[in-house]
Amino acid sequence: MARMLEFQFGGQTFRCGIDKVDREALYGRVDVETYDRAGSRCEVATLASDGRTLITSGGTGLGYMTGEGRWIERAELSPVDSAGRRLNTIASSFDHPLELELRTTPERFLDHSIRSTYLLVPDDGGMPAAFASELDGGAIFKFDFSYRGGVNADPAFILKGADGAVWMLVGAENSINFLGFTEAKALDTDADETPAGDDLDFEMM
Amino acid sequence: MPNINLKDGRNRDARVRAESVGERATVRYVDQAGQDVRMKKVLRATAEHSYDRLKSAASGDDEALAANLVTADTDVDLERIGMFLTGASRVFVNRAGEIVTHITETEVVRAPSGEEKERRPRKRPEPNTDGDLPVSWTGRLIKKDEALRRFVFSSKLQIVHVNGLTYDFLYSMAKELHEAGSLMLLGAGKSGKDPLIFTRHATPHRGFLEGRTNGDTYVLLLHLSKMELKAPVAVEPVVAAHAAATAAQIAPNAVPAAVTPIMPPVTEHPAAPPAIVPPAAEPVPLAATQAPAQSRSRRPTVRDITSATSAEPAIPANAKPEIAAVTEGAKTARARASRPKAKTPPAEATGPAAMAADQATPEATAPAAPARKRSPKPSAPQ
C-alpha cells in the first residue's frame, strides 16, 4: 500500500499516496545470466586480495572506523558541515504536513536532476480545486522532501505530466554557471585511459 | 569528464567538453571527539562458512549443523573474519563454489510484468559521443515546459568550450536555443538519431540540449533522459480516474477529458531510453515550435529503438582463458584496463573484470562480472 503524504495548500489539507514509478515498471528489465562451459549457472563472488578467500553474496559488510582504528557504531556519529559545524537532523516528510506555497519556473526545474519519480494518488477527499486548477495551468510546486529523515531534505516538485497524472519528482540541484570567453576548459586528450562519466550513474535503474 | 563531438544545426562540428554539474555532498560524519571517521569494507563470512556449505558438511542435517555450531564454532574463522577488504576482485563461481574462467552471458529480457520475453547473447553498447561521427541536432525542438512534463531528466552535463573558436560555436548554439525557448533533441551514430552512450556498457540516454545566454556568457546544458514521465500501463486506469475526478472537481458539469498517452508503452527493448518521435528530414525551423499543443496528440509516436544499441563486437580469434588474471593485483588490472583500445568504465577497472573489458565478447573468456553498483558515499549515511 502506498505511503501517504499530507499537504497543505491555501489553508486546506489533503492527503496523497505516492507510488514509485521507475524504468522497470515502464519498460521491463534485462537480467544477465552467466553460464560456464558445462551450461550450469554461475554466480558472482568476491575474491579477496590474498587470492584464496572466496566470499559469496552477503559475506561483506561496511563499518565505521575512527582515525585511531577503533570501530564505532553509526548511532555514535554526528553530522557536520564542511566547516565542522554540527547539523541538526530533520524528520521524515511522512511525519508532518508539507506546505505547498513555493512555485518555480521550468528553467529552475531544469536545473535539477531527478532521482525518484512518484505518482501522486489523492485519497477519497481529492485535491483542493484551487490546487488542481493551478496544476492544470502549468504550475510547478517546489518543496523540501525527506523520505526517511536525516540531515538534508531534497528538493521535490509537484506538477502535472503530459499524460494528465500528477507527479512528485524528487531530485538534486546542480551547480550550473554561465560561462564567458575566458573560461575555456582543456579537452581530455587522454580520454581512452580516463573512464568518463564518474559522476553519472547510468546504471541507476 | 568526457569530451563530446557536437554538431550544430548548420552542420558545423567540434570536439568540446561535457562537464558534470552535480554538487558534491558537504555533510561529513564525525565521532564524539569531532574526528572524521572512515568507512571500511570488512569480511563477514567466507564461502566456506555459508549456510549451504556448513549444512552440506553436516550431511544436510540441520540438527547436526546446530550441534556443530555450538560445539565447534564451525561458522567462525578467527583468522579471517573481520579483516579489511581492499583490492578484492570479482569472479564467477559455479554451483560447486569453484572459480569459473570461461563464461557465456545471456540477457533475459523481461516485460514490466516480469514475464520473460526474449533470451539473447549479452549486448555491450559502445560509446558514441566522442567518436568520428558527431552528436548532432536532430531538428526536433521541444518546448521546455512540454519536455519536463514528458521526460524524466535524471542527469545533466554542461557543454563547455575549449578555445576561442568553440566559444563562438557554443555561444551561437546557446543563443539560438535560448531564443527558441526549447530543448533540441540530439542524436548520435550514422543516422544521427541514435541515443547517446557515454561509457562502455552504459544505458543509452536521450539527450536534450538547452541553451541560455546572459550578455556574453552562456549555458549549454545537455539533459539526459532514460525514462518517460508516464504511468505504467497497470496504473493508467487509476490515472484516468484521477484526471477525470480532478476535471469534475474544477468543472462538475464538464465532460472529463480523455487521457491521451504521449507515446505507446515501449517494451520491445527494455534497455532503450524513451522513444522519440522521428524528426523531419530537414531541421525544423525554430518558428515551427510555436505549433498549437493540440497537434501534438496526433503526430506519429511509434518508433522501435531496438536497434539503438551498438552491434555485437566480434569474438577475437586469440581469445582464451587467463586464469592468472583472477588473482592479479589492482595495479596490474588498471594498467590492463587503460590500454588505448579499451574504454573501460571505472567499475570494471580492477581484477578480472578489467581483463573482460579487453575481450569484449558475448562469450567472454574471463570471469567478467557485470558493472559493479556504485557504493554509497562514505561520509553520508542516512
Tell me how far apart the alpha carbons of residues A202 and A37 are, in angstroms, rounded to a whole number. 31
Question: CA dihedral defined by B294, B300, B306, B307, rounded to 10 degrees?
Answer: -120
Beta bridge partners of B253: none
Report CA-CA distances (Å) from B201 to A15, A42, B310, B372.
42, 20, 10, 12
What integer pLDDT is reported at residue B243 of this predicted model?
Answer: 54
Task: Name B218's bridge partners.
Answer: A179, B213
pLDDT attached to residue A83: 86
Phi and psi for A198 in degrees, rounded to 5?
A: -55, -35
**Predicted pLDDT at B219:** 96
The 8-class DSSP code of residue B255 comes to P
pLDDT category of residue B239 using cuts at 50, 70 and 90: low
| Higher per-residue pLDDT: B6 or A151 | B6
Does the CA dihedral B204-B208-B209-B214 come out positive or negative?
negative
Banded model confidence at residue B230, pLDDT cuts 50, 70, 90: very high
* Per-residue pLDDT at B235: 56
The set of cell numbers assigned to B172 is 551561437
Give the residue among B128, B130, B129, B106 at the shortest CA–CA distance from B118. Answer: B106
Q: Which residue of A has its CA nearest to B329?
A: A49
* Lookup: cell for B362: 558475448
- Which residue do the cell numbers 526549447 mark? B182
Question: Is it the case that residue B336 has pLDDT exceeding 60?
Answer: no
Amino acid, single-letter form, for residue B330:
A
- Cα B303 to Cα B194: distance, rounded to the nearest angstrom: 12
Q: A162 vs chain B: nearest CA distance in angstroms?
A: 5
| Cα gap A153→B196, rounded to integer Å | 31
Q: Which residues of A touch B199 (CB under 8 A)?
A: 195-197, 200, 202
Between the alpha carbon of residue B58 and those of residues A162, B69, B77, B98, B232, the distances in Å are 60, 10, 17, 20, 48
**Taking CA A125 as the corner, what is the angle to CA B237 and CA B232, rounded to the nearest 5 degrees?**
20
CB contact under 8 Å between A48 and B28, yes or no, is no
CA nearest to B83, candidates A202, A53, A27, A155: A53
- Cell 501517504, located at residue: A4
The per-residue pLDDT for range A103-156, each reduced to its tens digit, is: 999 999 999 999 999 999 999 888 999 999 999 999 999 999 999 998 889 999
Best mutation target among A163, A167, A176, A193 (most B Cβ atoms within 10 Å) is A163
- On the question of pLDDT at B300 being above 90, the answer is no
Which chain B residue's Cα is nearest to A68?
Answer: B37
Out of B93, B112, B262, the one facing A26 most closely (by C-beta) is B112
CB nearest to A176's CB, from B21, B338, B371: B21
Q: Kindly report the nearest CA distance between residue B193 and chain A, in angstroms.
A: 20
What single string gives the DSSP state of each residue in B134-203? PEEEEEEEEEHHHHHHHEEEEEEEEEE-SSHHHHHHHHHHHHHHHHHTEEEEEEBTTTT-BPB--STTPP
Number of Cβ pairs closer than 8 Å across A and B?
Answer: 419
Which three cell numbers, joined as nine digits, stand for B213? 545566454
Q: How far apart are CA B374 and CA B364, in angstroms?
A: 23
Record: contact B154-A66, CB cut-off 8 A: no
Separation between Cα atoms, residue B73 and residue B319, nearest integer Å: 45
Min Cα distance A143 → chain B (Å) is 17
Residues (pLDDT < 70) of chain A are 1, 189-205
B160-214, pLDDT tens digit by residue? 999 999 999 999 999 999 999 999 999 999 999 999 999 988 889 999 999 999 9
Query: Average pLDDT over chain B, rounded to whole?
Result: 71
C-alpha cell at B8: 550544430
A196 with B212: Cβ contact below 8 A: no
- CA B99/CA A45 separation, integer angstroms: 9
**CB B136 within 8 Å of CB B187:** yes
The answer, yes or no, to whether ipTM is higher than 0.95 is no
Q: Please name the residue of chain A whose CA is at the shortest distance from the CA of residue B165.
A: A181
CA distance B68 to B98: 24
User: Per the CB < 8 Å rule, is A32 touching B106?
Assistant: yes
Contact B258, B247 (CB under 8 A): no
CB-based burial, A84-102: b 16+ in 10 Å, e otherwise: eeebeeeeebbeeebebee
* Residue of B36, B94, B210 to mutate for A, most A C-beta atoms under 10 A: B94
Contact A172 B32 (CB under 8 A): no
**Contacts of residue A200 in chain B, CB cutoff 8 Å?**
20, 155, 157, 198-199, 224
pTM above 0.80, yes or no: no
The pLDDT of residue B130 is above 80: yes
Cβ of A113 within 8 Å of Cβ of B41? The answer is: no
DSSP class per residue in A4-69: EEEEEETTEEEEEEEEE--HHHHH-EEEEEEE-TTS-EEEEEEE-TTSS-EE-TT-EEEEEE-TTS
Best residue of B17, B31, B123 to probe chain A, by most A CBs closer than 10 Å: B31
Report the gap between the CA of B345 and the closest CA in chain A (Å).
5
Backbone CA torsion sign across A118, B208, A105, B230:
negative
Which residues face B257 on adjacent strands? none
Chain B residue at shortest CA distance from A70: B37
Tell me, rounded to whole angstroms, the distance of Cα B117 from its chain centroid.
22
